[in-house]
Structure 1
């Protein structure tokens, strides 16, 4: 049968659900982009791997509740054929589903954005700080290095260090994806720089 409550109350409920999801999604996406642009990686990770994952979970639950309470004709149990939804109810339900899909998509894309920016930042650091040419020729050095190069330590701190700091604030199962992404991006940028500059270690 028809969902309980007056039509006005049902529309208000659906409208509140949609507005809440939209507001939370807009805030999170805005914060994520702002933190990444400012290279505030601990805050970025906390928002995208903490808050965003919670929002995704709760929005998925909301879609299940909406689908159960306001089923589409093909979704309802056969023994309980639903009364047709009003046009406004149908629109709001579709918008809630669409918002959940957008959150799901952003959740999947956000680490890709993060990886691209980490690689770009790493490449800039290597371009500015990594020595070239004769520096790496063993024959021209009095002795072999006994500590990490300054450029490598600075680059690791600027990129990996911030991610490690942010990852410590996350649940353990959320730490690995971010750390894997940034480590891969960092090493790819390093190798790309070495190949582009034709640096030889000999």
Structure 2
């Protein structure tokens, strides 16, 4: 799994999803809050995270079935989740400082960069790809919380802080996803895979950041 490859078509998931058994690449597509508007209005409600948690499936989320893996790959499937900041982001002022007002984050799958080798579609491999999706979801949840907590003296400073947090998300999520692949050998090391699934489930259910297994 990689977040650095050229994105393809974004395949949006519905807002209402069934949480995965693990409770089942974040990267964020925008460099900053596109459509940021306002600056003195009433602050909106709580931010929204859509498209996660949910269980992924071969049929729905991996429409690109291949006969063999690409020559430069050592895995039989790849999923590319993207955490996207909504275009319509408002700014409000609280106690003389600027913050984001109404905004939301969506976890989507880049369909053009998500594929599976047809003969390799097993439950174990799908569980591994679910882990990648959930790592991105956990990062998206933390990004949403961090963006909501930002405060700045000017809207320009707020824009800069938002952009920096989104960029850090790309780096952090990629590093976590790479570590997951390295330690599980793309799901081939069963004990490591189970430890990661437990850590991911605990982070989702506990509402905290992912703590990789020791």
> TM-score normalized by structure 2?
0.24
Q: Which has the higher strand share?
A: 2
Larger radius of gyration: 1
> TM-score normalized by structure 1?
0.25
